[in-house]
C-alpha cells in the first residue's frame, strides 16, 4: 500500500478537480487541442485531467509522444472502452479495430486487414490504378463546374469515399447518385454527433445511456450510418461466391467460414460490420479533409501553387497521369503535401489510448487503465522542432539543396502499435489526387469571396470552414 501511495505521489500534475465533474470545465470539448495547449503551458508536457471519475493524462510535444508511443509502445497500446458505441453493436465479442481493446483479437484483425488491403493493391499497382481512375472522374466533375465558383467538398468526398467503397464493397458510385449522397450525409452527421461535451459525459457516465431512447436520440446519425452499412453488407452476402474473392468484405466472409478458431480471432458477422464501418470512418473524412486543406492553401498561396505546377509540368507534363514513381522526382510537391498534413493538422488529438499496464514516463507514474490523449497537434506544431510552426512553410520538408527531407516529428498518422493502418493508402491518394487536380486546373479565389479562414472547425477532426473556389482549366 505504501509503495503504491508513493508511486501516486508521482502522478502527473493538473488543474484542481471539482466534485463529480472533475476537470471537465477546463476543456473546451469543441476545441480540445487549444485547451490542451493552454494547459501544457501551465503544467508541462505531461499533465492530468479528470473526466468525472475517469483519469486522463495528456501527452504533449514530440519528445514525450515519441517516448510513449515508440519506446513504451505496448504500455500505451490499449484503448478505453467507449460505451456510446454499444447501440450500434460494439461490445464484448466485437469491437472492430479502431476502438478495440489491445489484445489477441485486435492483433488478428489488424494483421488480416493490413494484408488483405495490401493484396487488393494497398500500396501496390492495382489500387494505384483505382485511385488514378477515380482522379479522372474527379477532374471530369470539376470540369463540369465550368469555372464557376463551387464548394469542392462534395466532389472530393465522393472521390475519396469511392476508393474505400471499391476496396471494401467492390462498388463505386456516380457522384450524383442519391444513395451515395445519403451515405455521405449520414456519415457527416454521425461525426458531428460524437464531438462536444454531451458524448464525453455519456461515455464517463454510461448509465445515462441506459435511459430508454437516449442513445437513439443523441446518436441518430450514427445508427442510420450503420443501417446503411448493413444494407451494403447484406447485398454483398447475397452475391457471395467463396471461390472468388472480389474485395475486402468477401475476404472477411471467407475467414468467417474457417470455424471456431476464426471466431475466436474475431471473425464474426458483427465484426464484419464494425471493421468495414471503421475503414470507412477512419479512411474517408481524414483524407478528403486533407485534400480540402491542400486546395485552400493553394488559394491562399498562389506562388506555391505555381511552383507545384511548374514541377508537375517538368516531371509529368500535361497529358500523362501522375504515378507514385513520379514522387521521388518531385521534392517540392512532396514537401507541399507534407506541409499540408502538418499545418492542416486534421487529427489534432488522434484517438484516445489507454495504458495497458502501470508505466512511467519522464519520471511520472501513470497507472494501468488511464485514458491517454496524444496531442498530435502539439507535435506537428512543436516550437522546439519546426522553424515556423504556425505558418504554412513547405521548406520545413526541404534541405538546403531543395531535396525532400522528413523531420521525425512529422507524425500526422501517429506512431507505435496503434499508428494509422491506412497510411500507405492515404499517401497514395493525397499524391495522386493532388497532382492530378493541379495538373489540370489552377485554383483561384472567386472575386466576390472573402479570404478563407485558416483556422479549423473541430468535430473529432479539424476541417476547413466552407469556402468556394474557381477551377480554371490549364
Ligand atoms: C488510426 C490519421 C487515413 C485507417 C489513425 C490515427 C490517426 C490517423 C491519427 C490514430 C492513431 C493512434 O491511435 O495513435 C489518419 C490520417 C489519414 C488517415 C491523417 C489521412 C490523411 C486512413 C485511411 C485508412 C485509415 C485511408 C483506411 C484505409 C485507420 C485505422 C486506424 C487509424 C483502421 C486504427 C488503428 C488501430 O487502432 O489499430 N489514423 N488516417 N486511416 N486509421 Fe488512419
pLDDT digits (tens, 9 = 90+) for 235-265: 888 888 888 888 899 899 989 988 888 888 8
Residue to substitute in 101, 271, 282, 350 for testing ligand 1 pocket (most ligand atoms within 8 angstroms of CB):
282
Residue to substitute in 252, 415, 422, 429 for testing ligand 1 pocket (most ligand atoms within 8 angstroms of CB):
422
Is the confidence metric ipTM above 0.90 for this complex? yes
Q: Tell me the C-alpha distance between 55 and 372, whole Å.
A: 9
Digit-coded pLDDT (tens) for 427-473: 999 999 999 999 999 999 999 888 888 888 876 788 999 999 999 99
Angle between helices 125-143 and 153-169 (to 10 degrees): 150
| Helix %, strand %, coil % of the chain (to 5) | 55, 10, 35
Please tell me the predicted confidence (pLDDT) of residue 193.
Answer: 65
Ligand 1 centre distance from Cα of residue 421 (Å):
5
CA dihedral over 278, 281, 284, 288, signed as positive or negative: negative
Q: What is the pTM of this model?
A: 0.93
Ligand 1 centre distance from Cα of residue 302 (Å):
30
Q: Is 416 exposed, middle or buried (0-12, 13-18, 19+ CB in 10 A)?
A: buried
For residue 416, which atom of ligand 1 is closest to its CA? 14
Ligand 1 atom 25: residue of nearest CA? 422
> Strands 353-354, 371-374: parallel, antiparallel or unpaired by DSSP?
antiparallel
Residue to substitute in 286, 293, 346 for testing ligand 1 pocket (most ligand atoms within 8 angstroms of CB):
286
Ligand 1 centre distance from Cα of residue 352 (Å):
12
Report the phi/psi class of residue 402: left, alpha or beta, with left for phi > 0 and alpha for psi in -120 to 50: left
Q: Tell me the C-alpha distance between 433 and 443, whole Å.
A: 14
Vertex 340 angle, CA 443 and 279, to 5°: 105
Output the ligand 1 site: residues, CB below 6 A. Answer: 97-98, 110, 278-279, 282-283, 286-287, 290, 346-347, 350-351, 353, 374, 376, 412-414, 418-422, 425-426
DSSP 205-231: SGGGGGSTTHHHHHTHHHHHHHHHHHH
Q: Tell me the C-alpha distance between 340 and 298, whole Å.
A: 10
Ligand 1 atom 38: residue of nearest CA? 418
Buried b / exposed e over 110-149, threshold 16 CB at 10 Å, is bebbbebbeebbbeeeebbebbbbbbebbbebbeebeeeb
Mean pLDDT for each consecutive 10-residue tract of the chain (474 residues)?
A: 80 91 84 91 95 91 97 96 74 86 95 87 68 96 94 92 89 84 76 65 65 66 81 87 85 89 88 91 92 97 98 97 96 98 95 96 96 96 96 97 96 97 95 98 93 82 92 96
Please tell me the predicted confidence (pLDDT) of residue 123.
Answer: 47
Within 288-348, strands assigned E span none
Ligand 1 centre distance from Cα of residue 233 (Å):
22
Ligand 1 centre distance from Cα of residue 427 (Å):
12
Please name the residue ranges forming H helices in 176-284. Answer: 178-194, 197-204, 214-218, 220-238, 248-256, 260-264, 269-283
Ligand 1 atom 31: residue of nearest CA? 420
Q: Is 419 exposed, middle or buried (0-12, 13-18, 19+ CB in 10 A)?
A: middle
DSSP 9-57: TTSPP-SPPBTTTBTGGGS-TTSHHHHHHHHHHHH-SEEEEEETTEEEE
- The cell numbers describing 208, all together, are 445515462
Q: Is 383 exposed, middle or buried (0-12, 13-18, 19+ CB in 10 A)?
A: exposed
Residue 94: closest CA among 249, 224, 273, 229: 273
Residue 75: closest CA among 45, 53, 102: 102
For residue 164, which atom of ligand 1 is closest to its CA? 28
For 462, which DSSP code?
A: E
CA dihedral 272, 274, 279, 284 (to 10 degrees): 130
Ligand 1 atom 5: residue of nearest CA? 420
Amino acid at each position: 500500500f505504501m509503495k503504491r501511495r508513493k508511486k501516486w505521489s508521482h502522478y502527473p500534475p493538473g488543474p484542481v478537480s471539482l466534485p463529480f465533474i472533475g476537470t471537465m470545465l477546463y476543456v473546451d470539448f469543441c476545441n480540445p487541442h487549444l485547451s490542451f495547449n493552454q494547459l501544457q503551458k501551465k503544467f508541462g508536457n505531461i499533465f492530468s485531467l479528470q473526466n468525472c471519475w475517469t483519469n486522463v493524462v495528456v501527452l504533449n510535444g514530440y519528445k514525450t509522444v515519441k517516448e510513449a508511443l515508440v519506446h513504451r509502445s505496448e504500455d500505451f497500446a490499449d484503448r478505453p472502452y467507449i460505451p456510446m458505441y454499444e447501440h450500434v453493436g460494439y461490445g464484448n465479442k466485437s469491437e472492430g479495430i479502431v476502438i478495440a481493446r489491445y489484445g489477441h483479437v485486435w492483433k488478428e484483425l489488424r494483421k488480416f486487414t493490413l494484408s488483405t488491403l495490401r493484396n487488393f493493391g494497398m500500396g501496390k499497382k492495382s489500387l494505384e490504378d483505382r485511385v488514378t481512375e477515380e482522379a479522372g472522374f474527379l477532374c471530369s466533375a470539376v470540369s463540369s463546374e465550368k469555372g464557376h465558383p463551387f464548394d469542392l467538398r462534395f466532389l472530393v468526398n465522393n472521390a475519396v469515399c469511392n476508393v474505400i467503397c471499391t476496396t471494401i464493397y467492390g462498388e463505386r458510385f456516380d457522384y450524383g447518385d442519391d444513395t451515395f449522397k445519403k451515405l455521405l450525409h449520414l456519415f457527416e452527421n454521425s461525426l458531428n454527433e460524437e464531438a462536444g461535451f454531451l458524448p464525453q459525459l455519456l461515455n464517463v457516465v454510461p448509465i445515462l445511456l441506459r435511459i430508454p431512447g437516449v442513445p437513439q436520440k443523441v446518436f441518430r446519425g450514427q445508427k442510420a450510418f450503420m443501417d446503411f452499412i448493413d444494407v451494403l453488407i447484406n447485398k454483398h452476402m447475397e452475391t457471395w461466391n467463396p471461390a472468388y474473392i472480389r474485395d475486402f468484405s468477401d475476404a472477411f466472409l471467407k475467414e468467417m467460414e474457417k470455424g471456431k478458431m476464426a471466431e475466436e480471432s474475431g471473425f464474426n458477422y458483427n465484426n464484419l460490420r464494425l471493421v468495414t464501418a471503421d475503414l470507412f470512418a477512419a479512411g474517408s473524412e481524414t483524407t478528403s479533409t486533407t485534400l480540402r486543406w491542400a486546395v485552400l492553401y493553394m488559394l491562399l498561396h498562389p506562388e506555391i501553387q505555381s511552383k507545384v505546377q511548374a514541377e508537375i509540368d517538368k516531371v509529368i507534363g500535361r497529358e500523362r497521369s501522375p504515378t507514385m514513381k513520379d514522387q521521388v522526382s518531385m521534392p517540392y510537391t512532396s514537401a507541399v503535401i507534407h506541409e499540408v498534413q502538418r499545418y492542416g493538422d486534421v487529427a489534432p488529438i488522434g484517438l484516445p489510448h489507454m495504458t495497458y499496464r502501470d508505466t512511467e514516463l519522464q519520471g511520472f507514474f501513470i497507472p494501468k487503465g488511464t485514458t491517454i490523449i496524444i496531442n498530435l497537434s502539439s507535435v506537428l506544431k512543436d516550437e522546439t522542432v519546426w522553424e515556423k510552426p504556425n505558418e504554412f512553410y513547405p521548406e520545413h520538408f526541404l534541405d538546403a539543396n531543395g531535396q525532400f527531407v522528413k523531420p521525425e516529428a512529422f507524425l500526422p498518422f501517429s506512431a507505435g502499435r496503434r499508428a494509422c493502418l491506412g497510411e500507405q493508402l492515404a499517401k497514395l491518394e493525397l499524391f495522386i489526387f493532388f497532382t492530378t487536380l493541379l495538373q489540370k486546373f489552377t485554383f483561384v479565389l472567386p472575386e466576390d469571396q472573402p479570404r478563407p479562414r485558416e483556422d479549423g472547425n473541430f468535430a473529432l477532426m479539424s476541417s476547413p470552414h466552407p469556402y468556394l473556389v474557381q477551377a480554371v482549366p490549364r
